[in-house]
């Protein structure tokens, strides 16, 4: 008895093709490099012990391309601190490379041949996070303007830094305010240069009197080296000048203090029934002069 062979149906042929495709895919899946690549990447991650050795990494905070900070010898961004000597500021980017919170405090500025300085700046950084920490340092007030190489120590890690010290025209005079009378009187002044630039003091300075009816505006007469402050005394024209004359021309060096002998002259034509004031410029400081009324009817 002869048995007729059954032709494969379309459904059985499809099943055979599908089985072959699945087998081929399984075979191909074993040869794909994705898993190997991931494993290799996993193997290159730093060990926990290595992370703990350098818990924080400090660098200059990123700025737009036009303001990219200079590069240090190790290729990292240099921390640039800018300002007058009394307050140099910068923002430092600090990375926490361990799996626990890190407190950043006690920043230290190191300069060659100078004593280390402690600065201000603190932050608590979460595990794996990066924080921008504002920092500030105070140098000696008479530090000349210019650029200075330094290092900033943050969390035990030192980073290269650049100090850009700006000019600071700062001084004060004592006494700050005096009472004066009509005529000529001796005045002793103590002046201190709190900045980092030399300040010349004019031998003769003048200020026009004011009875409270005008705003003081100072201007410099370069031709005569006389400094005046223009105001008025309430009349139709500017009030008369009071004059401060130093006994000697003086140049005030940064960080220095000098005692000056001078004479103040108050004109007699001031209205005796009014109280007058004048603000005399002494370098970059001001000396306020008050002339009380001479008439008791005020």
Question: Are the beta carbons of 276 and 293 closer than 8 angstroms?
Answer: no
Let me know if residue 298 belongs to a domain. Answer: no
Let me know if residue 265 belongs to a domain. Answer: yes
Q: What are phi and psi of 271, to 5 degrees?
A: -60, 115
pTM: 0.63
Q: What is the dihedral of CA 256, 257, 262, 264, to 10 degrees?
A: 110
Question: Are the beta carbons of 130 and 104 closer than 8 angstroms?
Answer: no
Q: Output the CA–CA distances (angstroms, integers) from residue 241 to 47, 143, 267, in the order listed.
A: 78, 38, 7
Question: Are the beta carbons of 61 and 130 closer than 8 angstroms?
Answer: no
Do residue 274 and residue 243 come from a single domain? yes
Question: Are the beta carbons of 185 and 264 closer than 8 angstroms?
Answer: yes
Tokens at 282, concatenated: 């002494």
Do residue 84 and residue 155 come from a single domain? yes
pLDDT at residue 294, as a whole number: 82
Residue 292 has a CB neighbour count (10 Å cut-off) of 12
In the sheet that holds 285-291, the strands lie side by side as: 177-180, 285-291, 276-282
Do residue 246 and residue 146 come from a single domain? no
List per-residue pLDDT tens for the chain, 298 residues long: 444 444 444 444 444 444 444 444 444 444 333 333 333 333 333 333 334 445 555 655 555 444 565 655 666 789 999 999 999 999 888 888 888 998 888 789 999 999 999 999 888 889 889 888 899 999 999 999 999 999 998 877 888 999 999 999 999 999 999 999 999 999 999 999 999 999 999 999 999 988 765 444 444 444 434 444 433 444 545 678 999 999 988 899 999 999 999 999 999 989 888 899 999 999 999 999 999 998 655 4
Do residue 249 and residue 155 come from a single domain? no
Let me know if residue 297 belongs to a domain. Answer: no
Alpha carbon 230 to chain centroid, angstroms:
35
Residue 53 three-state SS: helix
Last residue of a domain, one of 132, 165, 198: 165
Let me know if residue 114 belongs to a domain. Answer: yes
Number of domains into which the chain is organized: 2
pLDDT at residue 96, as a whole number: 85
pLDDT at residue 97, as a whole number: 85
Let me know if residue 11 belongs to a domain. Answer: no
The contacts of residue 73 (CB under 8 Å, 6+ apart) are 160
Last residue of a domain, one of 165, 180, 204: 165
Q: What are phi and psi of 284, to 5 degrees?
A: -95, 0
pLDDT at residue 238, as a whole number: 61
pLDDT at residue 281, as a whole number: 94
DSSP annotation of 132 reads E
pLDDT at residue 69, as a whole number: 59
**Residue-number span of the structural domain to which 95 is assigned:** 53-165
Q: Which of 161, 165, 163 is nearest to 74 (CA)?
A: 161
């Amino acid at each position: 008895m002869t048995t007729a062979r059954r032709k494969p149906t379309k459904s059985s042929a499809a099943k055979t093709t599908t089985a072959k495709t699945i087998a081929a895919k399984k075979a191909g899946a074993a040869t794909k490099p994705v898993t190997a690549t991931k494993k290799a990447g996993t193997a290159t991650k730093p060990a926990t012990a290595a992370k703990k050795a350098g818990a924080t990494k400090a660098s200059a905070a990123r700025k737009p391309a036009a303001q990219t900070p200079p590069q240090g010898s190790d290729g990292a961004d240099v921390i640039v601190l800018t300002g007058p000597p009394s307050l140099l500021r910068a923002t430092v980017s600090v990375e926490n490379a361990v799996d626990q919170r890190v407190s950043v405090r006690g920043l230290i500025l190191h300069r060659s041949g100078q004593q280390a300085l402690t600065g201000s700046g603190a932050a608590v950084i979460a595990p794996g996070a990066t924080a921008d920490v504002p920092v500030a340092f105070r140098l000696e007030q008479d530090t000349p303007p210019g650029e200075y190489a330094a290092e900033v120590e943050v969390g035990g890690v030192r980073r290269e830094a650049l100090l850009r010290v700006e000019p600071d025209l700062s001084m004060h005079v004592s006494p700050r305010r005096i009472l004066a009378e009509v005529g000529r009187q001796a005045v002793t002044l103590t002046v201190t240069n709190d900045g980092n630039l030399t300040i010349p003091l004019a031998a003769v300075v003048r200020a026009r009197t004011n009875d409270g009816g005008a705003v003081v505006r100072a201007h410099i007469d370069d031709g005569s080296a006389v400094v005046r402050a223009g105001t008025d005394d309430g009349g139709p024209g500017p009030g008369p000048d009071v004059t401060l004359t130093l006994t000697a021309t003086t140049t005030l060096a940064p960080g220095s203090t000098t005692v000056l002998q001078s004479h103040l002259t108050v004109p007699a034509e001031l209205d005796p029934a009014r109280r007058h004031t004048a603000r005399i410029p002494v370098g970059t400081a001001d000396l306020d002069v008050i002339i009380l009324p001479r008439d008791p009817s005020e």
